[in-house]
């Protein structure tokens, strides 16, 4: 494995994290039309809640794999790739939230 593989996994994680965060942020933003307690929440709380839910959704599987796998079987290359995926997904979540805010402001409103 070369370093480009880790970079590809990082960028794939960024795009996945951004996509999931943008979708969840948009869903939570429009859920206020139908759910009264979400409508009463300030916008900053909606942003924080959507970011937390997005991090939980996109990082659950790699984190579980990271902590369950035994140390003696763990290959350093696989460990580096897994860490790249987690870093990429966490980096993508704020980008996705920003994209969702821009979509709500400029395209939909």
Q: What is the pLDDT of residues 31-52, one digit of tens each?
A: 888 999 988 999 899 999 999 9
pTM of the model: 0.86
Separation of alpha carbons 81 and 84, rounded Å = 5
C-alpha pair distances (Å), 92 with each of 21, 59, 73, 88, 96: 8, 11, 29, 6, 6
pLDDT < 50 positions in the chain: none
pLDDT the model gives residue 73: 63
pLDDT the model gives residue 47: 93
């Amino acid at each position: 494995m070369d370093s480009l593989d880790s970079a590809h996994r990082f960028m794939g994680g960024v795009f996945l994290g951004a996509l999931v965060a943008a979708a969840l942020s948009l869903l939570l933003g429009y859920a206020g039309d139908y759910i009264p307690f979400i409508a009463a929440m300030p916008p900053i709380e909606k942003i924080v809640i959507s970011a937390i839910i997005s991090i939980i959704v996109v990082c659950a599987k790699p984190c579980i794999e990271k902590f369950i796998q035994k140390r003696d079987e763990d290959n350093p290359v696989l460990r580096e790739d897994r860490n790249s995926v987690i870093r990429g997904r966490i980096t993508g979540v704020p980008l996705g939230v920003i994209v969702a805010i821009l979509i709500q402001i400029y395209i939909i409103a």
